[in-house]
Amino acid sequence: MAKEWKKSRSSTRSLNDLVGMGLLHNQELGGWRASEGESYPDPRAGEIMVFEDFFKRGFGIPVHPFLQGLLLYYKIGICNLHPNSILLISTFIHLCEAYVGIEPHFDLFCYLFCLRKKGAVGGSKIAGGVYLNLRDGMKNRYHNCPWNTSLTEWYKKWFYIREELGSSTLCDVGYIPEKRVSWTNRPDFSGQVADLMKLIDWSRLDGPGVVGNFIVRLVMPC
């Protein structure tokens, strides 16, 4: 496992910077623990391992149930996702909750997105080993947002955070994801999915303001 991870650069100072930006609760309330200098993750009972850049893209504690459900469905851990995939999920949740007025819709998500295996990030097949992507033909039917922003050595900024009581987020720091049928399965374009796609097409008429409002939401903890 040591070969799959880079020594952590996540320090108390860098985490307090996130606190100062309003992206992370303070240490006492948030229950986070810096890991600077550690060679590989070793979370304690009740902790999960996360990346600093997750919090800059809409991640928060407690982990949203929709994200937890996606991890179970795809059979991956939170550490297997790239920060850009966290942004995609956060934006989708906000689209459903704030603009459509419904709980995040699983079939709609699977209609729009698929999961793919990524080339080793920083030499690791675990950290960011998979990523979510819009399916073919969906780019012009979904909101224009810079999903694939460039990040530098994000995989070195990992740390630990306490999970809320009763929350259970998959986090196996030794698991290398293997492609599954669930990664590309797609529901039929009928019923609720068809109706919701019409709503998305209509909401795109709101233009840049829609994306701007998403960004406001994404810089706050869930």
What would the pLDDT profile of 16-35 be if each residue is shown by its tens digit? 999 999 999 999 999 999 99
51 DSSP β-pair partners: 158
What digits encode the pLDDT tens for the residues 42-70?
999 999 999 999 999 999 999 999 999 99
Look up the domain containing 54 and give its range.
2-147+156-217
What whole-number distance in Å separates Cα of residue 14 and Cα of residue 162? 18
**The dihedral sign for the CA sequence 91, 97, 98, 100:** positive
Measured distance between the N- and C-terminal CA atoms of the chain, rounded to whole angstroms: 31
Average pLDDT, whole number, for the chain? 87
Question: Which token pair is 119?
Answer: 């080339």
- Whether the pLDDT of residue 209 is over 50: the answer is no
- Whether the pLDDT of residue 218 is over 50: the answer is no
Confirm whether 222 is domain-assigned: no
What whole-number distance in Å separates Cα of residue 104 and Cα of residue 93? 5
- Whether the pLDDT of residue 159 is over 50: the answer is yes
Confirm whether 83 is domain-assigned: yes
Which pLDDT belongs to residue 205? 57
Q: What's the structural domain count of the chain?
A: 1
* Of 15 and 164, more confident: 15
